[in-house]
Amino acid sequence: MHFFIAKKCELWYNDIYMQCGEKQDFCNQDLCGQSTRKHCTPQGYQASSAIYDLVVVGAGPAGLMAAGCAAARGLGVAVLEGNAKCGKKLYITGKGRCNLTNDTNAQGVLDNVVSNPKFLYGALHKFAPKDTIDFFESRGLPLVVERGGRVFPFSQKASDVTSVLQQNAQKGGVKFFLETKVTGVQCCEQGASSKFVVKSSGRQFFANSVLIATGGKSYAMTGSDGSGWALAKNLGHNLVAPMPALVAIEFVQDTKPLQGLSLRNINCKILHKAKVVKEIFGEMVFTDKGASGPIILSASSLINRWSLADTRLQLDLKPGLSFEKLDERVLRDFALYQNKDFINALDDLLPTKLIPYIVQKVGIAPHKKVNTIARQERQNFVNMLKKLEFEPSKLGGIDFGIVTAGGVDTKQIDPKTMQSKIVPGLYFAGECIDVDALTGGYNVQIALSTGHLVGNSVGENI
C-alpha cells in the first residue's frame, strides 16, 4: 500500500488509485505502514515503488494488443491512457463500425502500405490478417467480410473491438490508468532499480521497458495529438515530417454542382507527370470543393508528398467495358433516342447529377439532336467517360486525416522487435511510426501486428 501527500489525501492500494478528498500535509504512517517519508514532490508526484516490466503509453489497438500479449507471457504491464476510455479513435473508424483488417494475406497488406512496407514484413508475417480474424472470433466476436475484403464486427460496433482487446489485456492482469496523460519518459541512471521513469500529471511510473503507442496527429480530440512524437524526439529519435493521409482532396475544377453525388464501381488512375502510378477500384463522393470516399482517401496518401501541379486523377466511369464496347453501347442508346436532345439522351448511361457536367466538359451542344452527332464527337464523349480527369489543388488538413503519414524514423527501430536501436528497452508500435497504408482495414492491421510483435518481444532481456 502506498500513500502520499499532495493537495488531497490520495491512496494507492494494490495499484488501484483512490481519492478521499481530505487535505493532508503529512504521510499517514497508520495507513501506509511505512516510515514517515515523503512519497511526493511539492507538485504532488506519486512515487509508487512498483516496477513494471512494461509500461504502455496509449490504449489504442497497438497498445492494447502489446499489453495483452506481454501479460500473457507473465510480465507485469501497466497501460497509461489520457482519455477516460480505451480505444477512443477506434470508435470512429469505419464510421463507427471499425474496419479492423482485410481478408487477405500478409503480402496483400504489404501491397497496400504506402510508407516503408519492407519494414513491416516481419510483423505482418508473424501476425497476419488471418491471425487477427482468429484472435477476435476465438474471443467471441463474430466478424463479417464486406466488399473489397473489408472485415467488420458482425455487430457493426467499433466498441466491441475495443472491448475484446481490453478484456484480453485485463485477463492477463494488465493494470489500466485512465485519464493519465504522459508528459515525459526518462532513462534512469545506470544501477537504478528501473530503466525508465514515466511521468504524468501528478504521478510517476517505473518500468524496465516502455512502449510508445500514441498514434499520429489526426483527430486530436481522440488523443491522437502527436504527443508520442515529442516523447520520442526527447529520447533522441528522428521524426519524418508528418503529412495528412487518407483525407479528402480539393480539385481545381468546380465540383459544387456535383456535391453529394456518389459514384460506385469506378476505377481511378493516379497520374504523376503523366505516368500512371496506381489504379484503385471502388467508390467516391463529390464534395463542394472536390471529393472524398475510399478511392479518394487512398489517393491522398499516395500524392501527399508530390507536387499537385504534376498530379491528375483520371476516372473510368465504366471500367467493365473497353472503349470499343462502350462505344457500341453508346451507339445503341443514340439509336434508341435519336430524336432527343443530347442532354436528354444520357439517363441510361449516367447519374442525373453528372450529365450536365459531362455535357459541358465534352463540348457537344446540350440541345443538339442525337441523330446529328458526328462519329468523332461521339467518340470524344466515350473517351470522356473512360478518362474523366481532375486536377488536385489541395489536400485536407492533417487534423482530418484518418491516419497520419510520417512519424518516428523506421531506420532507428529494429523491425524484428520494434525496439529502438538507440534506447534499449524503448519500443514503438502503430501509427506513431513512419508507416501508413491505404483504406481497407490495413492501418488497424498494422497497429495490431506491430503491437503483437512488441508484446512477444519485450522482456526477453529483463
The percent of residues in the chain predicted with pLDDT above 70, rounded, is 88
pLDDT tens digits, one per residue of 38-47? 333 334 445 5
What pLDDT sits at residue 201? Answer: 81
| Range 185-209 average pLDDT | 88
pLDDT tens digits, one per residue of 55-71? 999 999 999 999 999 99
| Poorest-pLDDT segment among 85-94, 97-106, 314-323, 347-356 | 85-94
The percent of residues in the chain predicted with pLDDT above 90, rounded, is 79
| Range 419-436 average pLDDT | 97
What pLDDT sits at residue 123? Answer: 98
What pLDDT sits at residue 95? Answer: 80
Start-to-end CA distance of the chain, whole Å, equals: 25
> 378 with 224: CB under 8 angstroms?
no
What pLDDT sits at residue 12? Answer: 33
- Whole-angstrom distance, CA of residue 107 vs CA of residue 100: 17
Q: Is the pLDDT of residue 432 over 80?
A: yes
pLDDT tens digits, one per residue of 281-326? 999 999 999 999 999 999 999 999 899 999 999 999 999 999 999 9
| Domain made up of 54-244+408-455: CATH architecture | 3-Layer(bba) Sandwich (3.50)
What pLDDT sits at residue 191? Answer: 67
| Poorest-pLDDT segment among 47-51, 77-81, 411-415 | 47-51
- Whole-angstrom distance, CA of residue 137 vs CA of residue 151: 12
| Range 83-99 average pLDDT | 88
Q: Is the pLDDT of residue 2 over 60?
A: no
| Range 433-444 average pLDDT | 96
What pLDDT sits at residue 16? Answer: 34
| Range 229-250 average pLDDT | 95
What pLDDT sits at residue 223? Answer: 67
| Range 220-225 average pLDDT | 72
Q: Is the pLDDT of residue 21 over 90?
A: no
Where in the chain is CATH 3.50.50.60? Answer: 54-244+408-455
Q: 394 burial class (0-12, 13-18, 19+ CB within 10 angstroms)?
A: middle
* Residue 219: band (very low, low, confident or very high) from pLDDT cuts 50, 70, 90: confident
Compare 15 and 258 and report the one with higher pLDDT.
258
Rounded to two decimals, the pTM is 0.84
Q: Is the pLDDT of residue 20 over 90?
A: no
Task: Kindly report the three-state secondary structure assignment for every residue of the chain.
Answer: CEEEECCCEEEEECCEEEECCCCCCCCCHHHHCCCCCCCCCCCCCEEEEEEECEEEECCCHHHHHHHHHHHHCCCCEEEECCCCCCCCCHHHHHHHCCCCEECCCHHHHHCCEEECCHHHHHHHHHCCHHHHHHHHHCCCCCEEEEHHHEEEECCCCHHHHHHHHHHHHHHCCCEEECCCCEEEEEECCCCCCCCEEEEECCEEEEECCEEECCCCCCCHHHCCCCHHHHHHHHCCCCEEEEEEECCCEEECCCCHHHCCCEEEEEEEEEEECCEEEEEEEEEEEECCCEEECHHHHHHHHHHCCCCHHHEEEEEECCCCCCHHHHHHHHHHHHHHCCCCEHHHCCCCCCCHHHHHHHHHHHCCCCCCEHHHCCHHHHHHHHHHHHCEEECEEEECCHHHCCEEEEEECHHHEECCCCEECCCCCEEECHHHECCEECCCCHHHHHHHHHHHHHHCCCCCCC
What pLDDT sits at residue 461? Answer: 60
Which grid coordinates belong to 404?
497520419
Mean pLDDT of the chain, nearest integer: 88
| Poorest-pLDDT segment among 4-13, 150-159, 409-418, 446-455 | 4-13
Q: Is the pLDDT of residue 195 over 50?
A: yes
What pLDDT sits at residue 399? Answer: 82
